[in-house]
Amino acid sequence: MRETTYQLLSHTESNLIDAAKKASCQAYAPYSHFMVGSAVLLQDGTIITGNNQENKAYGSCVCAERVALLYATANYAHTPPVAIAIAACYNGQFTKQPVTPCGECRQVLAEMQARFNTPIRVLMYGEDVCCIANDISELLPLAF
């Protein structure tokens, strides 16, 4: 895991974060008002975006990460995801600290990494600091 800033990222990394930031604007988050965006980079360069989709029945809410990841594998079943970027906006401002995926999303990431036998980099955006995990095992050690 490494900490860095947006300004120091490669073009590919900042481009993926930009896509996640843009996707957060279309989140449906009337209950938490926490607007999360995600962008998944596939091995062939395709970028799939998602955002959190909330529900009055809170247990039915789906995180931004899973919206994008599951769309990606549903539609590109033979193309490994190689990276995911996550950004969140609250009260009209992107968070200063990075937002990290919840446990359930980490489990989904672990399944995908194993399924395609390809590491998935996780880029977590914050205005002040970005965190980069090279591999989901850094976020979910000893995965089931």
Select 13 or 54, whichever has its Cβ closest to ligand THU.
54
Chain residues binding ligand THU by CB under 6 A are: 29, 32, 34, 36, 52, 54, 61, 63-65, 86, 99, 101-102
C-beta of 32 vs 46, nearer to ligand THU? 32
Question: Residue 63 Cβ, how far from ligand THU at the closest point, in Å?
Answer: 3
Q: Are 109 and 121 in contact (CB under 8 A)?
A: no
How far apart, in Å, do the first and last CA atoms of the chain sit? 21
**Residue placing its CB nearer to ligand THU in the complex, 34 or 76:** 34
Q: Which CA distances in Å does 100 have to 38, 70, 77, 87, 125?
A: 11, 18, 25, 9, 9
Rounded least distance, CB 34 to ligand THU, Å? 4
Burial of 43 (0-12, 13-18, 19+ CB in 10 A): middle
138 is catalytic: no
Q: What residues are labeled active site?
A: 65
